[in-house]
Chain A
Amino acid sequence: MSLPAVPADFKEDFKAASKFSEPLEAKVEPVGQYFLAHATRILQDRTWSEYEQIKEKKAREEASKQKKDDGDEFEDVTDPELLEHDPRDWKKCDLYAVLGLNKFRSRATRDQIDRAYRKQVLQFHPDKQGEKGGFQDGFFKIIQKAYEVLTDATKRRQFDSVDKAAEVPAPSKKSKYDFFEAWGPVFEAEGRFSVRQPVPKLGNTESSKQDVEEFYKFWNNFDSWRSFEFLDEDVPDDTSNRDHKRYIEKKNHSARRKRKTDDNKRLDALVKRAHSEDPRIKKFKQLEKEEKARKKWEREAGARQAAAEAKEKAEKEAAEKAKKEAEQKQKREKNKKSKEAKKSAKKKSKRTIRAAVKDTKYFGAEANASVIDSDVETLLSSLEFEPLVELGDNVKAAGDDAEKIKSLLLAAAKATGKSYDYFK
């Protein structure tokens, strides 16, 4: 199927002609992955392209996960020493390495062991190796031994017990190390011997006190299935020398017991050392100390508060006092000022009145000037502040009107009730 050429008269790039016909409305059957995809699109209100992108991303993630999962699962055995190992001495081999299960070791599942065994058999079966020389024959025997041991639960435990390659040594005391980085793998490795599963993790600096205590409690009461039968000296199975057989058995038995006790001691020392080095334990102790101090501080809180309150009260009182004093002072000053103003007003009024009396030529009775003056003086000295100011204002308002001033002064003099010579 092919597309035609652009006609000569079509110049633009795109031309919409019409909409498509009215759609049908129909029910679809709610089955199948495409329907579910459709439903997801509608429910999440996504466009087709958005949905495609999401799906692609998911598929990619899935693919990469898949890859990780079944990436080269079992390694190939290339170590010549292992390949040429004497099959009679198979106990000295690393049986996991023989099957290419180095990565998994005690975590290898039965299924993995089966598959690894099959893979090895395909490669190392004498039929396959015939032309390549003889040593693989021996290695094939070891493979079979390894399979036999690892597929028998009891034997596998015995081998795991003495699996040197799975051991993680405790960090050297002399070296500098991060506690968690160094000890985490140690405890994880030791944990494989635990009868009780799951084994608590060492955790990190953030672990709660309870977790840490649980952890050490677990390790202090560690219940181990580790046993040392695998290292037994082979018991001769001929019946020729019973005594020798019993002797070997006895020796094995005591060796096993000794190893077990040693192992327990070792573990005990290990846990003690870790406990003493654990920064969290130190931290918790420190915290405890701080807590105590804080509690003490809290206990004394009552007294401290009372003192603080008293101090506060005193300060408050002092402040109030100072405020009051300031106010009084202000008031006093204000009074003083008003007094001065009064004084000047009084003076001014007196001056006005005196001047008015003088200006009006003593109401035309200049002859009596001294009498009037003395009377005016009497009047002015006997008048209170307000009537004086009033009188002053009135006199000023009266201007040159001698009679009026005279009458005003007369009225004022009368009101004072003093004896006058002129204002009678």
Chain B
Amino acid sequence: MAAVGIAFGNTTTSIAYVREDGKLEVIADPDGDRFIASALSYLGQDEYHGSQAIGQLIRNAENTIVNFRDFIGVPFEKIDTTYSQHSAKPINVDGKVGYEINGNKITVEEVTKRHLKKIAKDAEDYLGEKIEDVVLSVPENFTEEQKALLINLAKQSGLNIRQTISEPSAALLSHLTSEKELNNDKVYVVADFGGIRSDVSVIAVRGGIFTLLSSAHTYELGGNKLDLALMDFVAKDFKSKYKVDALGTKKSWAKLNSASIISKKTLSNVESAPISVDALAEGFDYNNTINRMRFEVVGRQVFSKMAAFIEDAIKKAGLETLDIDSVLLAGGSSNVPKIARNLEFIFPESTKIIAPSLDSKLPNPNELNSRGAALQAYLISTFDDDVIKQSLSADVVETKQLSKPIGLKGADGEFITVLPRNTVYPIKRVISLEASADDVFIELYEGERTIKETVEEPEEESEDEDEEDDDSEDEPDIIREVVYKPSKLLAQLALRGAGKGAKVEVVVNIRKEGKIQLAARSGKVASKGVIEA
């Protein structure tokens, strides 16, 4: 009996589990793919799945179903078929989305079931045991109905979904657990650039608990758009060489598309990659090498839109890029190094960009969702269904959080944050400080966010700008940073006889009802007080 996490995406699906030694492993399908294409193709009586189905897109596009996940539980009238133009066309089956395969109508629900069954079987073959408990990651904007439907479909495919978690949380959970950073209070941007859609979420992590501050979703950005840009570039080149339209026929389109995807992926790892298609159009072959620089220029618009998209989401949360501690890049397209580099421009230096192109030790960003789901599956494997159900109830999930940070006033009048904004209480936090005198004074304050501006000598440093800037002229740059200042006094506590230079432990304990217990301790002396709610 294994507990696994499944990340079911529009483009790829991956499945991970926690091994006995506590390490996470993403399961490969029989073809060796760890990102199994969410695609099904039918040729005569045969069903193809995964990369084999993708291969059918060239010859058998009308019977190949791709990009169907987001159609689950959506009425036919409301779907966007942009990404089904070069594969099986969605049709209306009793108001639901469906496909016509070899003259038979098949609903997207049935397609999903077949896909999940296949995935589950592959994983069971790999693990050599039955998969019982699954945590599934779903897009943050999936409705409750869609989730319920997906759980039901999974059940019919033999998978017991114990919990669904949102994709950004899954990715963040996976990253923070592997880095052992769950306990650090930070604000993260999780940018998930997928195949055909992109999602950005701003998440505050407080004491290991995630609060979603804002999110944005778009179908306008994704790996697909980069493919199209690359194809455009090739088509132009092809035309100039042979005077033939490389995108004229469906087949040549599909051929070029598949070659572009391969080259794009290769360029994430090396500086230059060949792009070659035999008999691209009218019998002419295409052979070329493209370097990363060229690719980045070709996809420039898409890249800058991605950066802007992230900024929008941050604005939506009522924050600035300055407030963001880290940006976690997830999704297959995040492998592209240019994305991370662009982000380094829009965020201040203090913000850490977490991307595989900047740190080669990181796991593939495409694995993050399934890894997070697997972690969650592992964590809840010892819990009863009842308990899980209760823990998802509003009583537990709806929390009271601090609207202002709470901290202490330091010796120099600075604000020492103990509990940042969005901290869920009840909570107890202990911090250790040095005593600057024999008797120390502990003042509990609420903090006020201020922007400190310092003028720097001209250096390669850009401010919030959307486009790439070639005009970094020699003018002084203003470095802005967020500084919290003590504003509202909550309580004062004196600890006498601590001794200069001694370590003082300050305990702030906020009870459920809002009562704050403030205590300080150093060696044998202690002092405490209560602020009633």
Contact = CB atoms under 8 A, between A and B. Distances in A.
Interface string A30-48: 1111111111111100011
Interface string B378-412: 01100100010011100111111111101011110
B182 A33 contact: yes
B529 A38 contact: no
Contacts of B387: 39, 43
Given A1-B410, A29-B203, A34-B209, A52 B428 contact: yes
Contact of A42 (B183, B395, B416, B488): B395
B514 A23 contact: yes
Contacts of B399: 25-28, 38
Interface stretch (A4-12, A158-166, A312-320): A4-12
Interface stretch (A13-21, A87-95, A96-104): A13-21
B209 A21 contact: no
B439 A20 contact: no
Interface string A42-61: 11000111001000000000
A305 interface: no
A141 to B, nearest CB: 35
Contacts of A29: 165-166, 169, 203, 209-212
Contacts of A42: 395-396
B410 A4 contact: yes
Given A25-B398, A25-B400, A30-B392, A2 B436 contact: yes
Contacts of A81: none
A367 interface: no
B494 A13 contact: yes
Interface in B419-444: 422, 424-428, 433-443
A22 interface: yes
Nearest to B443: A4
B207 interface: yes
B532 interface: yes
A24 interface: yes
Nearest to B414: A1
Interface stretch (B65-73, B304-312, B504-512): B504-512
A313 to B, nearest CB: 65
Given A2-B411, A49-B428, A28 B531 contact: no
B426 A31 contact: no
B387 to A, nearest CB: 7
A3 interface: yes
Given A2-B410, A6-B437, A17-B492, A31 B170 contact: yes
A4 B446 CA distance: 17
Contacts of B493: 13-15
A24 B421 CA distance: 9
Interface string B171-198: 0010011000011000000000000000
B491 A14 contact: yes
B397 A30 contact: yes
Contacts of B527: 13-14
A165 B209 CA distance: 57
B148 interface: no
A34 B205 CA distance: 10
Given A4-B409, A31-B376, A36-B391, A22 B403 contact: yes
A2 B434 contact: yes
Nearest to B390: A43
B398 A31 contact: no
Interface in A281-317: none
B64 interface: no
B533 interface: yes
B530 interface: yes
Contact of B396 (A15, A20, A32, A38): A38
A25 to B, nearest CB: 6
B384 to A, nearest CB: 11
Given A19-B514, A38-B424, A49-B509, A4 B440 contact: yes
A243 to B, nearest CB: 54
Given A25-B398, A31-B372, A10 B403 contact: no
A48 B427 contact: yes
B492 to A, nearest CB: 5
Contact of B211 (A14, A15, A16, A26): A26
A10 B494 contact: yes
Interface string A181-225: 000000000000000000000000000000000000000000000
B90 to A, nearest CB: 32
A35 B211 CA distance: 11
A5 B437 contact: yes
A14 B494 contact: yes
Nearest to B164: A30
A3 B376 CA distance: 40
Interface in B39-82: none
A17 B440 contact: no
A14 B490 CA distance: 11
B530 A16 contact: yes
Contacts of B440: 3-6
A10 B208 CA distance: 37
A121 B251 CA distance: 64
Contact of B380 (A3, A13, A36): A36
Contacts of B422: 24, 26
A4 B437 contact: yes
Contacts of A12: 494
B416 A1 contact: yes
Nearest to B520: A3
Given A1-B416, A3-B435, A29-B212, A16 B446 contact: no
A5 B441 contact: yes
B490 A18 contact: yes
Best-buried of A29, A36, A41, A42 by chain B (most CB within 10 Å):
A29
B224 interface: no
A22 B443 CA distance: 20
Contacts of A13: 493-494, 496, 527, 529
Nearest to B410: A1
Contacts of A26: 211, 398-399, 401, 422
A33 B177 CA distance: 10
Contacts of B127: none
Given A16-B491, A36-B380, A27 B428 contact: no
B201 to A, nearest CB: 9
B490 A27 contact: no
A26 B209 CA distance: 12
A4 B441 contact: yes
Nearest to A14: B529
Nearest to B378: A33
Contacts of A40: 391
A37 B379 CA distance: 11
28 contacts: A2-B410, A2-B434, A3-B440, A5-B438, A6-B439, A14-B493, A16-B491, A17-B490, A18-B490, A18-B531, A19-B533, A23-B400, A26-B211, A27-B211, A30-B163, A31-B165, A32-B177, A32-B208, A32-B210, A33-B208, A34-B208, A35-B209, A39-B387, A39-B390, A47-B426, A47-B512, A48-B426, A48-B428
Given A6-B441, A6-B494, 19 more contacts: A2-B435, A3-B411, A4-B411, A6-B437, A14-B527, A18-B489, A18-B490, A20-B446, A21-B446, A26-B422, A27-B211, A27-B397, A32-B169, A32-B173, A32-B209, A35-B208, A36-B391, A40-B391, A48-B426
List the 7 closest pairs (A to B, CB-CB), nearest first: A34-B208, A14-B529, A5-B437, A39-B391, A29-B210, A29-B169, A2-B434
